[in-house]
Structure 1
Amino acid sequence: MKQTLIADRIFDGQQFHHDLPVTFEDGHILAFDTVKGAKESRVDGSITPGFIDVQVNGGGGVLFNSSPTRQGIEAIGQAHAKFGTTAYLPTLITDDFSVMQQAADAVADAIEHGSAGVLGVHFEGPHLSVPKKGVHPQPHIRRISDAELDIFSRQDLGIKVVTLAPENVSPDVIAALVKADVKVCLGHSNADYDTVKAALDAGATGFTHLFNAMSAFGSRNPGMVGAALESTDAWCGLIVDGHHVHPTAAKVAINAKPRGKVMLVTDAMPPVGLDGEVSFELFGTQVLRVGDRLNAVTGELAGCVLDMAGAVANTISMLDISAEEALRMASMYPAAFLGVSQQFGSLATGKRADLVVMNDQFKVQHTFIAGQLKYSKV
C-alpha cells in the first residue's frame, strides 16, 4: 500500500525541505510528492533518515550475550526503535566460544526471518588487550583461533564487524579477515602507533568508541588515538553521552578527521528503553545505573544507556554541531562505514523507507522501518 507522509520539515541527508511529501511503497521511497491512491498523513515535526547503530549490546532489559537468540535480538531492536534506530548490528562482547556460535546462529536466523533493522553482527572481542579490557571478562580474552576465524568467515551473517586489539592479532590475520568480508575495527587495545599503522595497512577500517579503552595520544607516543586521528580513511565511532568522552576531546576528533569519518554509536546496554534506576548483571559483576550513567561496582564505565536520538541531541547541544551534521553522523556516515549507502543513510527515490519523525527537541514520535510503522509515541 502506498503511503505519503507530510511533515513541517524533511531532512534528506543533505538539507532540510519544508512541506515536502514523501511517498513510499513496498519498503522503499517511491517519490517526494503526493501520489494518486496513497494514504496521506500529516505528522508534526521533522522527518529524518533512520539512525544506524553499529554497536548495540542490549536494550529493553535484554543483553545479547545473555540472550543470543533471534527473540533476544528482536527485543533489543524494538527497544531501540523507540529512539529512531532503524538499522543496527547486535553486538556480542567477549564471551565463551559457545556463546559466539549461538550469537552467530541467532543473527543468521534473524536475517533469514527478516527481523526488522538487523544488518549483521558486531563481535566486540574476544581478541582484545587485557590492560584495556574495560568490563570485558578477562577469562574469555584469548588469541584468535581457526574456530573463531570460521565464525567470522560465515556468509550468512550479513555485515560482519570485529573489534580486536592489533597487538594480539597479526597483520596477516587482519588481512585474512578483510578478505573474508569482515570489517575490522581496532579497540580495547594498548598498541603503540606503529602496530596500529600496520593493522590499518592490513585493511582495518574503523576504531571502536574512540578514546575509550585504547592507548592515549601523547606528544612522543601517539598511540591508537593518534593513529585514529591521523588516518584519513578510517572511521571512528564516538559515544556522545557526556561521560565517555569530554566534549572538547570529541570536538578535537571531529575537527581532525575528514568530514564523514566520525559516526555516532551508543554502546547501549539492557537499560535502554526502561525507566528508573535499573541494574543488571554482567559476567557476575553488578552494573548500576545512576541517571544516564552505567558503572560496574568495580568502578569501570560499563557501556551506556545512550540511545541514538539522545546521541544526536547531545551532539548538537554539547559539541555545537549543526542539526544537519549531527543527523548525518547518526545515519549517512555509519551507512558509508558499513558499505550500505545505496539503500540506507539518506532519503532518496528508490532507497529503503527507513524514516524517523522527531519533534523540535529531537524526541522520536514515529519510527518506520522499511515503510512499516514500528514505533509511535501516540
Structure 2
Amino acid sequence: MKQTLIADQVFDGEVFHQNLPVTIDDGHIIAFDTVADIKPVRVNGTLVPGFIDIQVNGGGGALLNADRSVKCIETIGRAHAQFGTTGFLPTLITDDIDVMRTAADAVAQSLSEGSDGVLGVHFEGPHLSVPKKGVHPQSHIRRISDAELDVFCRKDLGVKVVTLAPENVSVEVIKALVAEDVRVCLGHSNADYDTVVAALKAGATGFTHLYNAMSPMGSREPGMVGAAIESRDAWCGLIVDGHHVHAAAAKVAIYAKPKGKVMLVTDAMPPVGMAQDASFELFGTKVIRDGDRLNAITGELAGCVLDMAQAVNNCVSMLGLEFGEALRMASLYPALFIGQDSVRGTLKVGKKADMVLLDSQRQVTRTYIGGKLVYQI
C-alpha cells in the first residue's frame, strides 16, 4: 500500500532535509515528493535509515543458543526493533555441532518465512583461541572439521558471518569459506600480527568487537588490534557502551581507519528490552545485570544490554562524533560490510523502506521494516 510520510527532518544517509516527503510502496521507497493521489501523513521527529546489527545473541529474554527456533529469533527481532534495528544477524556463540545445525535450520526457516529484520546468521565460534575465549565455553572450542564447514557453506542462510581465530584455522580454510560467500571475521584470538595479516590476505574482511578478546597492540608486537587498525580494507565492529572500550581507544580506531570501516555492533544478550534486574544463564553460569553492564559471576564481561539507538547516542555523547556519522556507523557501514548497501543502509529511491523515527531526544518512536510499521511508542 502506498503511503507518504512527512517528517520534520529526514536523514537520507548523507544529508539532513527539512519536511521532505517520503513515499513508499511495496516495501520500497518510490519517491521523495508527495504523490498526488496520496494524502501525506505528518510524523514528528527525524526519519533515518534503519539500523543494521551484525552481532545479536539475544533480546526480549530470548537467547539463540538456548532456543534455536523461529519463535526465538522473532522475539529477538521484536526486542531490537524497539531500538531501531531493522536488519540483524542472529548470532550463535560457541556450541556443539548439533546446536549449530538446529540454529542454522531456524535461521533458514526465518528467512523463508520472511521474519522481520532477519538477514542471515553470525557464527561467533567455535574455532577460537582458549586464552581469548571470554565467556565462550572452552569445552566446545575446537578445530574446524567438515561438520562445521557443511553448516557454514549452506546456501539457505542469507548473509553468513563466521568469527574465528586465525591461529587455529588455516589460510586454505579461510579461502574456502570466502569462496562459499562466508564473511570471515577475526576475533577471540591471541594471534600475532603476521598471522592476522595472512588471514586478511586469504580473504578475511572483518574484526569482531575490536579490542575485546584479541591480542593487543604493542610497540614491537602490533597484534590483532594493530593489524585491524592498520588495514585499509577490513571492517571493525565496535561496542560503544562505555564498558567494553574506552572512549579514547574507540576514537583512535575511528580516526585511524578509513571512513566507513568502523561499524556499531551491540553483542546484545537476552536482557535487551527487559526489566533492569533481568539476569540469565549462559552455559550454566549466571550472568548478572548491573545497570547497563553484564558480568558472569566469574567476572568476565558477558555481552551487552546495549541497543543500537543507545550506541548511536553514545557515539555522539561519549565520542563527540557528528550525529550523521554516528547514524552511518549504525546503518550504511554495516550494510557495506554485508554487501547490501544497494538494498538498505540509506534512504534512496528504490531501496527498502527500512526506517526509524527519532524524537528530539534521539529516542526511537517508530520503526518501519520494508515500509511496515513494526514498532510504535
| TM-score where L is the length of structure 1 | 0.99
Structure 1: how far apart are the matches of 2:362 and 2:277?
23
Counterpart in 2 of 1:357? 357
SS in 1 for 2:131: helix
Structure 1 position 362, deviation (Å):
1.3
Preserved CA contact (<8 Å) 1:2 1:39: no
Preserved CA contact (<8 Å) 1:13 1:332: yes
Q: Sequence identity of aligned pairs in percent?
A: 71
Preserved CA contact (<8 Å) 1:2 1:37: no
Equivalences for residues 94-173 of structure 1 within 5 A: 94-173=94-173
Structure 1: how far apart are the matches of 2:281 and 2:37?
52
**What code does the residue aligned with 1:21 have?**
P
The superposition leaves residues 109-132 of structure 1 with CA deviations (integer Å, 9 ceiling, x where unpaired) of 000000011110000000000000
Answer yes or no: is 1:202 the counterpart of 2:202: yes
Counterpart in 1 of 2:46? 46
Preserved CA contact (<8 Å) 1:161 1:184: yes
Counterpart in 1 of 2:57? 57
Structure 2: how far apart are the matches of 1:194 and 1:38?
59
Equivalences for residues 13-92 of structure 1 within 5 A: 13-92=13-92
Structure 1: how far apart are the matches of 2:213 and 2:279?
23
The superposition leaves residues 187-210 of structure 1 with CA deviations (integer Å, 9 ceiling, x where unpaired) of 000000000000000000000000
Preserved CA contact (<8 Å) 1:160 1:181: yes
SS in 2 for 1:260: coil
Structure 1 position 38, deviation (Å):
2.5
Structure 1: how far apart are the matches of 2:36 and 2:121?
40
SS in 2 for 1:319: coil
User: Any stretches of 5+ residues in structure 2 without a counterpart?
Assistant: none
Structure 2: how far apart are the matches of 1:317 and 1:361?
12
User: Any stretches of 5+ residues in structure 1 without a counterpart?
Assistant: none
Structure 1 position 40, deviation (Å):
2.2
SS in 1 for 2:248: helix
Structure 1 position 276, deviation (Å):
1.9
Structure 1: how far apart are the matches of 2:304 and 2:38?
40
SS in 1 for 2:334: helix
Counterpart in 1 of 2:252? 252
Structure 1: how far apart are the matches of 2:97 and 2:354?
34
Structure 2: how far apart are the matches of 1:375 and 1:141?
38
Segments of 4+ moved more than 2 angstroms: 36-40
Structure 1 position 39, deviation (Å):
4.5
Structure 1 position 361, deviation (Å):
1.5
Equivalences for residues 321-332 of structure 1 within 5 A: 321-332=321-332
Structure 2: how far apart are the matches of 1:246 and 1:277?
25
Structure 1: how far apart are the matches of 2:39 and 2:287?
46
| TM-score where L is the length of structure 2 | 0.99
Structure 2: how far apart are the matches of 1:171 and 1:225?
19
SS in 2 for 1:9: strand
Structure 2: how far apart are the matches of 1:199 and 1:38?
53
Structure 1 position 292, deviation (Å):
0.2
Counterpart in 2 of 1:339? 339
- State how many pairs are aligned: 377
The superposition leaves residues 59-106 of structure 1 with CA deviations (integer Å, 9 ceiling, x where unpaired) of 000001011111110000000000000000000000011000000000
Equivalences for residues 276-291 of structure 1 within 5 A: 276-291=276-291
Counterpart in 2 of 1:299? 299
Structure 2: how far apart are the matches of 1:223 and 1:37?
60
Counterpart in 1 of 2:376? 376
Structure 1: how far apart are the matches of 2:360 and 2:256?
30
RMSD: 0.5
SS in 2 for 1:299: coil
Structure 2: how far apart are the matches of 1:39 and 1:159?
37
Preserved CA contact (<8 Å) 1:126 1:142: yes
Structure 1: how far apart are the matches of 2:117 and 2:39?
24
Structure 1: how far apart are the matches of 2:293 and 2:118?
26
